[in-house]
Every structure is written in C-alpha cells, then in structure tokens.
Chains A and B, each alone.
Chain A
Amino acid sequence: MNCELVRAEGGACMALDRRSFLMCALASGAALGAGEFAAPAAASTLTSGAQAQNDAQFTYEAKFYEKQANRKIKCKLCPRECVVGDKERGYCGVRENRGGIYYTLVHSRVCAAHIDPIEKKPLFHYLPGTTAFSIATAGCNVNCKFCQNWDISQSRPEEIPAQYISPHQAADIARKYDCPTIAYTYSEPVVFAEYLMDTADAAHEAGVRSIVVSNGYMQHDSLEQAYGKMDAVKIDLKAYTESYYAKVVTGQLKPVLDSLVTLRKMGKWTEIVYLVVPTLNDDDEEFRGLAAWIKTNLGLDVPLHFTQFHPEYLLKNLPITPVPTLERAKAIADAEGLHYVYIGNVPGHPAQNTYCPQCRKMLVERVGFTASQMLIRKDSTCPYCKHSIPGIWHA
C-alpha cells in the first residue's frame, strides 16, 4: 500500500456512470489546475455502486505463479509466495486459485480514478507541473497500520464498487485530458501487475507514459517484467528496520531494498518516500542508516522525501509528525551528502522546493502540489551554474 491518499475529504462517495466519471475526472483536473492544496485529501473515489459488476470481465490468468500438486499454486509475484489451495485467495485478496489455475480478479477493475498533479505522487523530478491520470484497483500485498486508503487497499474487489476501464480506454482518457502520464497508485499496483503491464503497453502506443507508486515489495522477475514497462517509479520505503516491516507493515525490508537496487540497475527514474511515524521509525540512527544505504547503493542524486504522518486506520493513537522531526531527518540525510532531500505533506515548507546542489539557488518552487516556478533548462541543467540536475524535467 502506498501513501498517496485517494479518499475525498469527508469520505464522500458518488455513484457515477461512465459519463459522470469522465466529468468528474475533468472537473478534478480543473480544480487541481487551480493550484489549490487540499490537505490531506485531494482526490475522489470513483464509485459505480449502481452498476452490477461482472466478475468474468475482470478475470484473467495471472502471470506470476507456479503450479503445484493437488491443484495448489505458489504465487511468484511478491516475496510472500502464498501457497494457495483451490478456491482460495492469496494474501492480497485479489488473486484466486480456480482448479489449479491462478487468476487475477482485478484486470481493468478500476475502483479509484482521478487526475492528479504529478507532485502528489510525489514525483518531483519527473515532468513537474504536469498531471497524471491516476488509477487503482482493490487490494494490497501488505497491511500497513497507517494506510490512508485502507478502504480500497484492504478490501476484496467484490466489496467495493468499480468501473471497467480497459487498457486502451485508460490511454484514451489520459490523452483526452492532456495527461502525459498514467499513474498506477492509491492501493498497491503490485497486485494488479497484469493490468498495469497491458495498460502501459496501450499507453505507450498512444504516446502516454506510465509511472507507478508502489511499496516495491516484489520478486525480482515480476519487478523486472512489470516495472520494466514504467517510465518512472516512486517507492514507499516504509522504514529502515525489519522489525518495523514485520510489525507495522506485515512485510519485509530486504526485498524492498533489493527492488530499489534492481530499479537503479534498470535505469528507471526512481524517487523514494519515507513516511515518518512518531515513535515508530523516527530514530536518528535509522535516518542515518537509511541515508547511508541510499548513498552507497543508489547514489547521491536519488530524491528522498520525508513525509508527515497523519493518524489513520490502525494508528489513530499517534500524533501528526512534528515538523522539527522531519527537519531533523532531512538534516541527517543532507549531512550524509544526499543532494535532493525533501519534506512532504507540510504545505509551504521551503524543503518542498528543488535547489541546485552546487550553487544552492532555487530551481523549482512548489506550493502544495503545484510547481509554481520551474527554472531548469531543457538540457536539465541549472540556469545559474550549469550544474546537471538529474531527472526528466521536460516532456
């Protein structure tokens, strides 16, 4: 489950037909274009409660699994490697064994769709100031106690309203509303890998790029095949300790670190978000260890976002992350030598802007989710000192 919020303020839901859905997407895009920051929510849930869901429409054989004896299968999508008996589902709740064949139940089964600024993902070094047609299905392969979108990520597909949006339809919508990218986000795209792959292919044919917002908790092969089709990746690195992953995330740290290294080797533009949860993953040594690991394994130019936690889901007993804690985390990562360390979910904080690591001049100014000023040149250099600024800055 990634940390990008999908629910509308106040949890409002709308029953939308196809026409209403498109109008909603358009209106949302317009609202976002106005540059307003609606913290913490800035998106609406697509619902189609009035429409019956035809399960067969969304059911495709899964790509990543092995058949075993007695009609069992072993899922090879994520490190969990669920062994699933006939008529059962894996941990994610969206893949089902039917007679020894494993199926995804969420291909084209979109339960949330919206047009978001790309800064909301957040991707700060990838096409700033543009919008992404953002989609999700139900399901997740972990269970973060702080999940903001638990109502879709922790549900089975049949439990939440959804709309059929084929890969080509998704590409068409993105083009129609001038979104240079489709973002797979909100829940956990790992669990809808097949849909993501098919949609990325359709989108590329239509001249639309693909980005993914993910926990990175994947097997090596599925990561290479699925995220190999992505143009940029944002990984939620939930913490830098295995104990946190075990207790708070219900996952493991090491496979996520392995995924980050693999993405680096694949040459994918990658940014990292670290949600700082008071008392659970806000220790100085953890910040230092994280920054040192990034420096050693990924290099100094990988953007790292320390974002503010808000009480949600099963962690309502904890306070909002104090801003000084985020500033301390940034200071530690800066001291390790990382070039692009940001503070997120704190509107107006100067650490939301991008600065040249050489001349220290501000190059991208952000207000909320809007890039209000973008000075980086077409050749991706600083206009003041000509220092190269890593990222994909221009379409």
Chain B
Amino acid sequence: MTDLRNHSRRNFLTRCLTGAVAMGATSLRATGETQAAAAKSRVVVARDPQLRGSGAAAEAGHVDARRLETLLDHAMQSLFNLPATHENSIAAWRRIAGADDSVSLKVNTLGGRGIATNVDLVAAVCERLQQAGVPARNILVWDRDSEEMERAGFRIVIGGDRVQCFGTDRVGYEDDLSAWGSVGSRLSKILTRSSNVLINMPVLKDHDGAGVTIALKNMYGTIHNPNKYHPNGCDPYVADLNMLPEIRSRMKLVICDATTAMYEGGPGFKPEHSWKSNGLLVAQDAVALDFTGWQMIERKRAEMGLKTLEAEQRPPRYIATAADSEHGLGHCDLARIAVVEIQGGAS
C-alpha cells in the first residue's frame, strides 16, 4: 500500500498497527464451511455485508478500505486453515512469497473504474506481502496497458524502492513465442522477467463470448494477441494459455475481487447489470475458483430472471477443459471443491 497510495514508511507502520488492532476485534464466523478433504481444492468465498457501510454510504457504493483489508485477512487465513490472529494474517502470506521472491499482481482494468480490480484491495495485498518480507521494489502491480490502469484508479509508479505499478506497454512482450496446444503467444516481460510469483487478481463478471471472465481468462492480459483467442467461447484457448509454463509455474494465488460483480452485459462495465457482491474469492486452484464464481453469476442471473448461460449458448466450457485430463489445471467438480463461505468484517 505504501507505494500505491503514496504513504510514507511511518504511515505504513501505523496502518499495520491499526490493522492489527482492527483484526483483533474482528468477528469471523464460518457459515457452511466444508471440511476440505486432502484432494479437494479450497475456495474461500468471503463476504462482508457492511463492506460499503450502511444507509447513504452503502448507496454511494464506496468500499471501506479497512474492512476490505480485514476481509482479505480472513480469507487468507481461511484458505490455509489458520486461526484468525494477526500473526496468521502474515503467516498466510509467507506461504505465497518471501524475501527472495519477486511478486507480480496481475489486475484487471479493462472495464474501467466501474469493474476493475479494487485499488484498495491491491494495496492491502502489497502491504501484507511486505509484511511477509517481500521488498517493496520486488512487488509489481500490472495489467496490459498503463492508461487503462490509470483510468481504473491506479497510479503509475516506476523506479525507486517502492511497489511498482505499470502496464506491459512500458516494457513490451518477449520476442519469442510461447506455445501450448492451440495457443502461441508472446508473453509480457513483466511476467517473464520481473516475477517468479504471480498473484492473479481478476474481477467477477459476465462475458458475452466466453460466458464468464474470472481468473483463467484474466491471463489474456498477459499476451500480445488475445484477440485471436475469442472464437468458440474461448475454448480451448483459455485452458491452453494457462498451460504455458511461464504462467503455470508462477501462479500461486488467485484473489478475485467480487466487491462489484456483473451477471450480464460483460466484459465492458454495464452498471445496470452489476451488483454489489461485497465479497472476495480466494484460492490456489484457479479452475475451482472460476467454477465457483461461475455458479455465483448463475445464481444472480436466476435471481434477476435471466436464462442460464447454457440456455444462452455461452456456458464457459473452457473451465471444464482446464480441468480435463489433458490440462489438469484444477478441479471443476463440486465433489472435489471445498467451498468455504465466511463472513468477516470489523465489529
């Protein structure tokens, strides 16, 4: 958070302290938690109905950064089945990265400020990574294009001992192709040269071609030619892209920003088809997370009286493809996914 939000080191430490206090006073309850079997992929769905406050504040729609940070801590602790303590909020992150790592956070800013990865959420992740020992200069927040990032509320930061924040347009793509199956693409140099750990930070939204776009499809923002991979509902392109060793070997964590989500009309932002979901989805299995997110969108569609994506002939088939025996990227079978629903928020 230090660099993204232009806070000083002192402010940063102060924020850590207040964060700890807030967490100590936090209530966390599991609602319908499933006991995860060893073979199951764990997907945490964390919600805070008070994320935007109440009354007029909730109507205004602004997310409370402090509550969001707390929700993130709860989600991470739950992901690794750790008791809710301040120490464990850091311990969870040490399972992802440490002092020797270079971590890149691939956000999604295509939809503009209305449906982009929340800046406060990204700042909270950066803060926790630093607390886990990752030097600020080794953390890089990125997407395809710097201007798109700025439009989504990110401040471009290049150089210095700060968290870096810029798009691939600043450094370009590798000259050589990376290929797997139907995909042959040049990868962002940010991914290949500036990170050994990738944290995938998509948003939760409908997609007129692919059905939904969540974690797996967010990787379209890492390549030079995403336009080539939209036919046939992006299947098998999304799955094949995620098989690229440069992506597969780096992606350690997915944090899906579902504070605002879209059930129809995506991928561009359509306020009339969005809802304040006030949640996060966190997992290490991107396929399981996508499957879970897809079900959430289907439930919202049903609530709004819309047909299923299957009935609209645009189910996200690529999710099953990613889970098939050829790809083996994760699970999309409910029997092999442990969905852990939590409600967390500062009390």
Partners in one complex: yes
- B23 CB to nearest A CB, Å: 39
Q: Does B208 contact A (CB under 8 A)?
A: yes
Chain A residue contacts of B267, Cβ below 8 A:
85, 88
- Point out the residues of chain B lying under 8 angstroms from A154, CB to CB: 224-225, 228
* Chain B residues near A83 (CB-CB < 8 A): 208
Interface string of A131-162 (1 = CB under 8 A from B): 00000000000010100001000111011000
Which residues of chain B are near A93, meaning CB under 8 Å?
225, 227-228
Residues of B within 8 A of A159 (CB): 172-173, 224
Minimal Cβ-Cβ distance residue in A for B226: A93
Partner of A89, one of B172, B177, B224, B227: B227
Judged by a CB distance under 8 angstroms, whether B179 is at the interface is yes
Which residues of the other chain, B, contact A313 by a CB distance below 8 angstroms? 177, 184
Q: Given A85-B208, A314-B177, A314-B179, verify A156-B268 contact (CB < 8 Å).
A: no
- The verdict on A91 contacting chain B, using a C-beta distance below 8 Å, is yes
Closest to B145 in A: A158
Contact B173 A156 (CB under 8 A): no
Question: Max chain A CB contacts within 10 Å: which of B208, B224, B225, B227?
Answer: B227
Closest to B173 in A: A159
What residues on A are CB-neighbors of B268 within 8 Å? 85-88
Smallest Cβ-Cβ distance to A154: which chain B residue: B225
* Interface residues, chain A, with chain B CB atoms under 8 Å away: 70, 83, 85-93, 143, 145, 150, 154-156, 158-159, 250, 313-314
Task: Please name all residues of chain B whose beta carbon is closer than 8 Å to the beta carbon of A88 when the two chains form the complex.
Answer: 267-268
Of the listed residues A85, A92, A93, A150, the one surrounded by the most CB atoms of chain B closer than 10 A to its CB is A85
Contacts A158-B169, A313-B184; is A90 near B227 (CB within 8 Å)? yes
Query: Which 9 residue pairs of A and B lie closest in terms of their CB atoms, listed nearest first?
Result: A93-B227, A314-B184, A143-B228, A154-B225, A85-B268, A86-B268, A89-B227, A159-B224, A91-B227
A143 to B265, CA, bound (A): 28
Q: Which B residues are CB-close (under 8 A) to A70?
A: 265
- Which residues of chain B come closer than 8 Å to A156, judged between CB atoms? 224-225, 227
> Which of B's residues lie within 8 Å of A, judged by CB?
110, 169, 172-173, 177, 179, 184, 208, 224-225, 227-228, 230-231, 265, 267-268
CB-CB nearest in chain B for A86: B268
Cβ–Cβ < 8 Å partners of B208 in chain A: 83, 85
CB of B227 within 8 A of CB of A92, answer yes
Contacts of A145 in B (CB 8 A): 184
Q: Is the interface of B mostly helix, strand, loop or mixed?
A: loop
- Distance of A91 Cα from B237 Cα, bound (Å): 14
Closest beta carbon of chain A to B208's beta carbon, Å: 6
19 contacts between A and B (CB under 8 A): A83-B208, A85-B208, A85-B268, A86-B268, A87-B110, A90-B227, A91-B227, A91-B230, A91-B231, A92-B227, A93-B225, A93-B227, A143-B228, A150-B184, A156-B225, A159-B224, A250-B231, A313-B184, A314-B184
Question: Cα distance A154–B27 when bound, in Å?
Answer: 52
The residues of A that contact B169 with a CB separation of less than 8 Å are 158
Chain A proximity of B230: nearest CB distance (Å): 7
A389 to chain B, nearest CB (A): 42
Q: Could you tell me the distance between the alpha carbons of A83 and B184 in the complex, rounded to whole angstroms?
A: 24
User: Given contacts A250-B231, A313-B184, are A155 and B225 in contact (CB under 8 A)?
Assistant: yes
Residues of chain A lying within 8 A (CB to CB) of residue B227: 89-93, 156
Complex CA distance for A143 and B229, rounded to whole angstroms: 10
* Cα distance, A216 to B9, chains bound together (Å): 61
- Minimal beta-carbon separation of A109 from chain B (angstroms): 17
Known: A89-B227, A91-B231, A155-B225. 8 other contacts (CB 8 A): A70-B265, A83-B208, A85-B267, A91-B230, A93-B228, A145-B184, A159-B173, A250-B228
Q: How far is the CA of A145 from the CA of B228 in the complex (A)?
A: 12
Q: Which residue of B lies closest to A71 (CB)?
A: B268
Which residues of B are found within 8 Å of A92, using beta-carbon distances?
227
In the docked arrangement, what's the CA distance between A70 and B269, Å?
Answer: 12
Q: Which residue of B lies closest to A70 (CB)?
A: B265
Tell me whether A91 and B228 are in contact (CB under 8 A): yes
Closest Cβ of chain A: how far from B320's Cβ, in Å? 21
Q: Which residues of A contact B110 (CB under 8 A)?
A: 87
In the assembled complex, the CB of B45 is this many whole angstroms from the nearest CB of chain A, namely 28
Which residue from chain A places its CB closest to the CB of B228 in the assembled complex? A143
* Distance of A59 from chain B, by nearest CB (Å): 15
Distance between Cα atoms of A91 and B226 in the complex (Å): 9
| B residues in contact with A143, CB < 8 Å | 228
Least Cβ–Cβ distance between A12 and chain B, in angstroms: 12
For A89, what are the chain B residues with a Cβ–Cβ distance below 8 Å?
227
CB distance from A270 to the nearest CB of B (A): 28
Q: Write out the residue numbers on chain A whose beta carbons fall within 8 Å of the beta carbon of B179.
A: 314
Most buried by B among A70, A88, A158: A88
User: With a CB–CB cut-off of 8 A, which chain B residues contact A91?
Assistant: 227-228, 230-231
Across the interface, which residues of B come within 8 angstroms of A150, CB to CB? 177, 184
In angstroms, Cα B145 to Cα A87, docked, is: 13
B176 to chain A, nearest CB (A): 10
How near does chain B come to A14, taking the closest CB pair, in angstroms? 15
A167 → chain B, closest Cβ, in Å? 26
**A250: which B residues are within 8 A, CB to CB?**
228, 231
Min CB distance A100 to B, Å, is 12
Nearest-CB residue, chain B, relative to A158: B169
A157 to chain B, nearest CB (A): 11
Q: What distance in Å separates the Cβ of B83 from its nearest Cβ neighbour in chain A?
A: 45
